[in-house]
Structure 1
Amino acid sequence: MDARKKRGIEAEQAACKHLEQAGLKCIARNYHCRRGEIDLIMLDRKQLVFVEVRYRSNPHFGSGAESVTRAKQQKLIATASHYLQQQPHHGASRFDVVSLSPHQNGFEINWIQDAFQA
């Protein structure tokens, strides 16, 4: 495994741990279908949360959150729709973005709740 992929996996694990410490429960990781992939699917009380994790090693190209373009949002929405067809959820849902950047002791984490609407 190359260093970039390894760092991405570490960032995703750090994001999941951060959200769990905030009280969310992880119910799926790396859910994928032909429409796309969702990094984390969490439960915040009764609300289903679809989480896009973004890692940026260099802030000169913008934050991880800024890299979630409208096209990426549309893929996430389509993938979430597919998930909901497979695993019906009778409650609200939202899309969060967790942006990570390097920090001396691991990662600096920026969690944006309800980052965009379906």
Structure 2
Amino acid sequence: MSATVGGTSSHRPRSRGRGAHLALGRRGEELAARYLTDRGLVVLSRNWRCREGELDIIATDRTTLVVCEVKTRSGPRFGEPAEAVTEDKQARIRRITSRWLSEFGVGWCPIRFDVLAVDCSPGRAPTVRHIPGAF
């Protein structure tokens, strides 16, 4: 499933470095959260951190807890965004999800792990490709 988000592309500087990388990631997560809420999901947490790492977005469709890993790219230079969700990353996300469930006192519930691949290529409207049940 893929969608254009936000109408027109916004102009952003082409600066490189950690700051630009972090800004791109924040923009991708904002677009991903909007994408999910536009489709009826309720976002419960964003950028939840523990000592093992971070969960980008935790949402629910009112029957399933949906843990979303957001990967954003500004072009094809580093490959498809979803390719960055390696088996190690998947295992870490599962472990951190257990901590989130414990922290918020959530008992057993169905859980789905999704990937949202956001493309913010310059000169084009950003797109979100949603991969439900990616892992």
Distance 2:73 2:124 in 1: 16
Distance 2:107 2:64 in 1: 9
Shift of 1:10: 1.0
Partner of 1:98: 116
Structure 1, unmatched stretches of 5+, are none
Shift of 1:85: 1.2
2:81 is the counterpart of 1:64: yes
Partner of 1:25: 42
2:27 is the counterpart of 1:10: yes
Distance 1:105 1:26 in 2: 27
Q: Deviations over 1:15-62 (max 9, x none)?
A: 000010011000100011111110000011221111000011232432
- Residue 115 of structure 1 aligns to a residue whose secondary structure is coil
What amino acid is the match of 1:86? Answer: E
Structure 2, unmatched stretches of 5+, are 1-17
Question: Larger % of strand: which?
Answer: 1
What amino acid is the match of 1:14? Answer: L
Partner of 1:109: 128
Shift of 1:89: 3.8
C-alpha change, 1:4 and 1:60, in structure 2 (3 Å) is closer
RMSD: 1.6
Distance 2:21 2:125 in 1: 15
- Ranked by relative contact order (alpha carbons within 8 Å, sequence separation 6 or more), the top structure is 2
Distance 1:50 1:105 in 2: 28
- Which stretch of the first structure deviates more once superposed, 63-72 or 52-61? 52-61
